Amino acid sequence: MLWDALLLQLGYNATLVTIGACFLGIAAGVTGTFLFLRKRALVSDAISHATLPGVALAFIVMVSFGGDGRNLIGLLLGSAVSAWIGLLCVSWLTRYTRLAEDAAIGAVLSVFFGFGIVLLTVIQSMSSGRAAGLEGFLLGSTAGMLWSDAMVILVGGAATLALVLMFRRPMGMVAFDPEFAAANGLNVARIDLMIMGLAMAVTVVGLKIVGLILIVAMLIIPPVTARFWTERTDRVSLIAGAVGGLSGYLGASLSAAAPNVPTGPIIVLVSFAFFALALFFAPNRGVLAAVLRHLKFQRRVHMRQGLLALAQGQPIYEKLTLRLLTRAGLARADGVVTETGRARAAKALWDEKRWEIVRADQAFEGAAALYDGLRELETILTADQLTEIDARIAPPTGVPS
């Protein structure tokens, strides 16, 4: 069953939904990257909640003009207009009043959403029965998807993706360094608005599949996931697109294969699974990598301290240090130093003395700044400099009799 769904063999409708979700996921992931890098991920929350009154108003307008009221293009246009108004409200509140952006986002999302609910109850009372389906925009519903709806989503997703790809360089520049972008002649405010506008486009296109409450997740989770794997913008957006597309595809397939599994939530949960995977196993930024890095550091510190203790003939009681030294063949289990151990310990003590001179001499200021008690001097200074330092370490002179 699941294989059939994954290979798009589960009927016409399921195939449409799966492909649509995949496109949407890619577009959302790539767009969300710029939102996330600009540190304004939650603006998408305001945008998505602000779509509701537009959907309801569009429905009312279409019905009062004698139309069907459920024409997807009309509803999406309405949602785009009200989301745009919500967006302008957020930027107006942050710009011209003292309110911080988070308060503006929260105010806009709750008020617009509340007004949307009021309009939904108006619709329920004005034409009972015909309103069925508008609630589907809250959590997404793919059950009764038509070919034309799927085409709207496909084309919308593809167009958004194309726009993002076209403007990725200015948007990346603004996301990282607005001042630099402004100095380069870019209109930062306009590009900011464009990032938001693209996020809005994704939201509007995704309303039907994922619903307005969960579309936020598709804009936030893939970029956050991608950020774990790489430090480069273009790769973040690439990986975010891949994660988004993959979770859209897998989620829609799962929802088609199993009964009672709504599409939106399962897509979000699949992308959360990718996120959890990245959180724990990503190289460099993942939790596992951090733990390994910490353990490695701990071993180096113990090794170093152990060698210095050996050099000064002190006994070693600390278990981890002793184990590390024995394993490296520098000491025996009872703490007695071996021949190699004696040599390494002498080197450690020698290095310590060299560091002392480096840190005392203004001429080596640059090198001294790198002192952390573990670093090998050979990796910082040239052989000539080392010889010069070694010359200053006084050799043992006459032994008093």
Residues near another protein (CB under 8 A): 36, 39-42, 44-45, 93, 95-100, 102-107, 109-118, 120-122, 124-126, 135, 138-139, 213-214, 216-217, 220-221, 223-224, 227-228, 260-262, 264-266, 268-269, 272, 275, 279, 285, 287, 290
CA distance 36 to 29: 10
Closest to another protein by CB, 65 vs 96, is 96
- Residue 99 φ/ψ, nearest 5 degrees: -70, 140
CA distance 156 to 160: 6
Q: Are 53 and 243 in contact (CB under 8 A)?
A: no
Going by C-alpha positions, the residue among 70, 179, 202, 63 that lies closest to residue 122 is: 63
Closest to another protein by CB, 36 vs 364, is 36
Closest to another protein by CB, 117 vs 186, is 117
The nearest distance, CB 43 to another protein, in angstroms, is: 9
The nearest distance, CB 261 to another protein, in angstroms, is: 7
Closest to another protein by CB, 104 vs 324, is 104
Closest to another protein by CB, 125 vs 379, is 125
Closest to another protein by CB, 248 vs 262, is 262
Closest to another protein by CB, 39 vs 293, is 39
The nearest distance, CB 157 to another protein, in angstroms, is: 20
Q: Are 42 and 105 in contact (CB under 8 A)?
A: yes
Give me the torsion for CA of 80, 85, 86, 92, rounded to 10°.
150
CA distance 347 to 304: 11
The nearest distance, CB 267 to another protein, in angstroms, is: 8
Closest to another protein by CB, 14 vs 120, is 120
Based on the number of CB atoms within 10 Å of its own CB, is 121 exposed (0-12), middle (13-18) or buried (19 or more)?
exposed
The nearest distance, CB 187 to another protein, in angstroms, is: 17
Residue 127 gets the label, from left (phi > 0), alpha (psi -120 to 50) or beta, of beta
Specify the amino acid at residue 318.
E
Going by the DSSP 8-state scheme, the letter that residue 71 receives in this structure is: -
Q: How far is CA 195 from the centre of its chain?
A: 17
Residue that is written with structure tokens 């307005």 in the block: 212
The nearest distance, CB 117 to another protein, in angstroms, is: 3
Based on the number of CB atoms within 10 Å of its own CB, is 109 exposed (0-12), middle (13-18) or buried (19 or more)?
buried
CA distance 57 to 112: 12
The nearest distance, CB 103 to another protein, in angstroms, is: 5
Closest to another protein by CB, 8 vs 279, is 279
The nearest distance, CB 167 to another protein, in angstroms, is: 22
The nearest distance, CB 100 to another protein, in angstroms, is: 5
Going by C-alpha positions, the residue among 294, 347, 27, 22 that lies closest to residue 160 is: 27
Going by C-alpha positions, the residue among 233, 270, 276 that lies closest to residue 36 is: 233
